[in-house]
A and B are shown apart, each in its own frame.
Chain A
Amino acid sequence: MAKPPVGVIFDADLGNSIDAPLALALLYGLDGKNEARVVSTSVSKHSLASAALAEVIARFYAGTVNADFGSASRSLPVGMSIAGKSPESTPFLNAVLDRKNPEGKPVYNHGIVQLNDTADVLAVIRNAFTSQQDQNCVAVLAGPATNFAAVLALPGAKALIAQKVRALVWAPGRLGLDPAAAQKLLAEWPSPIVVVSPELGDGIRFPAAALDSQFNWTETHPVVDAYRAAAPMPYDAPTGALAAVLYAAKPEGFFTLSPAGTFSLASQSTLAFKPGPGTHHLLQLDPAQKSKVLETYLALASAKPVVRQPRRRRTDVAKPDAVKPDAVKPAEPPKP
């Protein structure tokens, strides 16, 4: 049986930089075209608002998050770090979550009000890996490595990742928030790591003008609202996280990889790459592909939600298992 499209386990410090929400939009665009599956989403910001934005975006795309757990396919809740990193709210989180309609009600609904509306982030990420076919998922990380590094400490996690994960694609922003996690990730992550450099992210900018030209099919789009609030308009946003998602789903046709080598933490906030033995690579862009990449970003990130039937069974009525009828056992004779 053919494997389903690649599953993406997405983790970001959602709320700190606009490329992460754009990347989520792009990811759901790929999911809608059946070119990737959103398996889990988690945030490394210790912030309910950050988790709420992830859920708002998931709901906007009609709940296509699908961990595909089998007999009752279902979505995983949003995992949130409670490691205390970057807990502050940000203008674009507030802009999305506080937007009200003329009746004074929130435009974007979500179910995250208190801590226990979020999920244990380690369990979410680990459980997402367990649900995937071997070598058929990619971990995408935008921001600090807090969550993925913590998952590595779970017993059996490294073997599980080696079995399930094709690669980790990392757009490493704000490393200074958790340099120890970055160090651990680079030293211990068992699959190949592909790093998106800041230069690549800066090299292709997401044009502000696209908000009017590409997203004009709706007046309420959480990612558009986030974009407008993230910095004084107009500005063109860097696209490091988008590159990570696009490469995760489509490793051919857009980017190339550097020769193998090893990344290490050069300072509290920068990585250094040393070619040689190793399983790390730098993601590279062929200048000739630049316009194609940008067009793809725009087309996928602005794609309309696709309403479709779950890939497998309905979630509310799982097919009963074939439990065998009770064995009939003859009664023991009375004891003398």
Chain B
Amino acid sequence: MFTRKALPRRTFLRGLGAAIAIPAMDAMAPALASSQLPGKPPVRMAFVYVPNGIVDHKHWNIPEGAIGELPRILKPLEPFKNDMLHLGNLTHNGGRALLDGAGDHGRCCGGYLSGIHPRKTAVDIQSGISCDQIVANKIGSQTRFPSLEIGLEDGRQAGDCDSGYSCAYTNNLSWRSETQPMPPILNPRALFERLFGTGQVLSPEARARQGKFRRSILDFVTDDTRKLQSDLGPTDRRKLDEYLSSIRAIEKQLEKAESDTAQINPGMDKPYGIPADFAEHFKLMTDMATVAFQGDITRVLTFLVTREGTSRSYREIGISDGHHPLTHHMFNPASIEKVAQINTYHVKQFAGWLEKLKASKEGDSNVLDNSMIVYGAGLSDGNRHNHEDLPTIMIGKGGNSFKTGRRIIYRKETPMSNMFLTMMDRMGVPVENFGESTGRLDGLQLS
């Protein structure tokens, strides 16, 4: 006799100041359907944006057709090449000057996800609603957060950051409206509290108590966890343990980062709680992004790795020059080599995230299979400042929608907006046209 009641898809473990969404479980499916989730797992979309273009396309591009050996910059993605669509010739015309003169960094990022040409101004900013926000507006009510915006580099939101273009353009990827950017969350603690806090304001005493005893957020949901565990089968119990362990691991990373930065010279340009190490920061933020996707906390993510036009250095890998000046290499082989190293370093961190997503089982598939993760840049070549053939890859099958493992070279000038339209379709938010679109992208589908 089967009497088990299906667990609701949106189940939370609650406690003082904590609300932890749990991932998809077999128990969410009706009895006898233990290997199937209730309906299809949700499809997620994410955009991971790297600044200053890609240095040398010979280290990025591959021949059309089935993906063989990956070039240098993409080498870290070797384990994911069968999950990858490598897209060529996508263009963002709005990033071009179009009579507005210099300012390619401001334009290429400010209009990247909206496919428009941002207004050249440092004051009365105007871009366009980004495709992630169109999706978030439509399906955001199905998750705790309509969207998440994360980043790794602090940046101003006002003032002139590029030849008359506001810092709002270079320092944000997502736009809620044509005048309202969505600043990325940079601080891991802030992201953690956003994801797992209830939003309620703790009394100073409660917060102090939390801090003093360094209690894990999991301690606050112990009762709910026990109750839930008693209702779960062994497979689900193991999955829940793994999930909560991953949250605990994030907490430990956070504590370590906070403890490390507390000892850092206060004059250093690194806010409290943000790991000094780029890779560590990347990992911490994307670990939380993994949990956010696993727990269906959100289905829409934008990740501005560092702000467009950044002059950040990468001493972690022995590069003390700024990223942006290096990209204007004047064909100096040493500079080109350094930018290639930075580009590869970014991809390597990205691969670490993909590994987590792929390891997150979801019924018979995994979170990566049910996602569309676009990794790309708003400039094609950082030296030339061109806006055609933007470096763009998409990882994940979008819920068994895309035939991956291929390089597709589209016709020249094919708008990036065409890709956004296709992705929005897959998110269940079909839009007739968007940005610069001239149609959908052909050839991605399984059949």
Interface size for chain B: under 10, 10 to 19, 20 to 34, or 35 or more residues? 35 or more
B267 adjacent to A331 (CB under 8 Å): yes
A326 adjacent to B162 (CB under 8 Å): no
* B269 at the binding interface (Cβ < 8 Å): yes
Partner of A331, one of B98, B100, B156, B269: B269
Stretch at the interface among A199-207, A287-295, A311-319: A311-319
A333 adjacent to B162 (CB under 8 Å): no
Complexed CA–CA distance, A74 and B96 (Å): 11
Chain A, residues 99-116, CB within 8 Å of chain B (1/0): the string is 000000000000000011
B412 adjacent to A77 (CB under 8 Å): yes
A124 adjacent to B413 (CB under 8 Å): yes
> What residues on A are CB-neighbors of B98 within 8 Å?
69-70, 130-131
Give the nearest-CB partner of B211 in chain A: A335
- Given A70-B96, A123-B93, verify A323-B155 contact (CB < 8 Å): no
B412 adjacent to A70 (CB under 8 Å): no
Stretch at the interface among B2-10, B138-146, B238-246, B382-390: B382-390
- Given A320-B328, A322-B162, A333-B266, verify A120-B154 contact (CB < 8 Å): no
A318 adjacent to B383 (CB under 8 Å): yes
A325 adjacent to B311 (CB under 8 Å): yes
Give the nearest-CB partner of A324 in chain B: B161
Complexed CA–CA distance, A322 and B433 (Å): 34
Complexed CA–CA distance, A124 and B438 (Å): 10
B309 adjacent to A123 (CB under 8 Å): no
- What is the distance, in angstroms, from A116's C-beta to the closest C-beta of chain B? 5
Which of B102, B324, B383 has the most chain A CB within a 10 Å cutoff? B102
Give the nearest-CB partner of B409 in chain A: A116
> What residues on A are CB-neighbors of B97 within 8 Å?
69-71
* A122 at the binding interface (Cβ < 8 Å): yes
> What residues on A are CB-neighbors of B386 within 8 Å?
72, 74, 318
Partner of A79, one of B93, B156, B413: B413
A331 adjacent to B103 (CB under 8 Å): no
Number of interface residues of A (CB under 8 A): 47
* A308 at the binding interface (Cβ < 8 Å): no
B155 adjacent to A327 (CB under 8 Å): yes
* B415 at the binding interface (Cβ < 8 Å): yes
* B446 at the binding interface (Cβ < 8 Å): no
Chain B 259-274 residues near chain A, CB threshold 8 A: 261-262, 264, 266-273
> What residues on A are CB-neighbors of B117 within 8 Å?
130
Give the nearest-CB partner of A132 in chain B: B99
* A332 at the binding interface (Cβ < 8 Å): yes
Partner of B104, one of A74, A116, A321: A321
Give the nearest-CB partner of A327 in chain B: B156
- What is the distance, in angstroms, from B288's C-beta to the closest C-beta of chain A? 20
> What residues on A are CB-neighbors of B433 within 8 Å?
154-155
> What residues on B are CB-neighbors of A318 within 8 Å?
104, 383-386
> What residues on B are CB-neighbors of A124 within 8 Å?
412-413
- Given A74-B386, A331-B272, A332-B271, verify A326-B310 contact (CB < 8 Å): yes
Give the nearest-CB partner of A123 in chain B: B413
Partner of B412, one of A118, A131, A325, A328: A118
Which of B160, B264, B324, B384 has the most chain A CB within a 10 Å cutoff? B384
> What residues on A are CB-neighbors of B270 within 8 Å?
331
A72 adjacent to B311 (CB under 8 Å): no
- Given A69-B96, A318-B383, verify A120-B414 contact (CB < 8 Å): yes
Chain B, residues 412-425, CB within 8 Å of chain A (1/0): the string is 11110000000000
Complexed CA–CA distance, A114 and B85 (Å): 20
Chain B 79-124 residues near chain A, CB threshold 8 A: 88-89, 91, 93, 96-106, 117
Complexed CA–CA distance, A332 and B13 (Å): 32
- What is the distance, in angstroms, from B108's C-beta to the closest C-beta of chain A? 10
Complexed CA–CA distance, A122 and B102 (Å): 26
Which of B64, B310, B385 has the most chain A CB within a 10 Å cutoff? B385
* B252 at the binding interface (Cβ < 8 Å): no
- What is the distance, in angstroms, from B281's C-beta to the closest C-beta of chain A? 15
- Given A330-B267, A331-B269, A331-B270, verify A71-B101 contact (CB < 8 Å): yes
* A119 at the binding interface (Cβ < 8 Å): yes
18 contacts between A and B (CB under 8 A): A69-B96, A69-B97, A71-B101, A71-B102, A120-B410, A120-B412, A120-B438, A122-B438, A123-B415, A123-B436, A318-B384, A320-B325, A323-B170, A324-B160, A327-B155, A331-B266, A332-B271, A333-B272
10 A-B pairs with the lowest CB-CB distances in the bound complex, closest first: A70-B97, A119-B412, A323-B309, A123-B413, A332-B272, A77-B412, A334-B262, A318-B385, A119-B413, A122-B438
13 additional contacts, CB 8 Å, given A120-B413, A326-B311, A334-B261? A70-B96, A71-B385, A116-B64, A116-B410, A119-B412, A120-B415, A130-B96, A318-B386, A323-B105, A324-B161, A326-B312, A329-B154, A335-B211
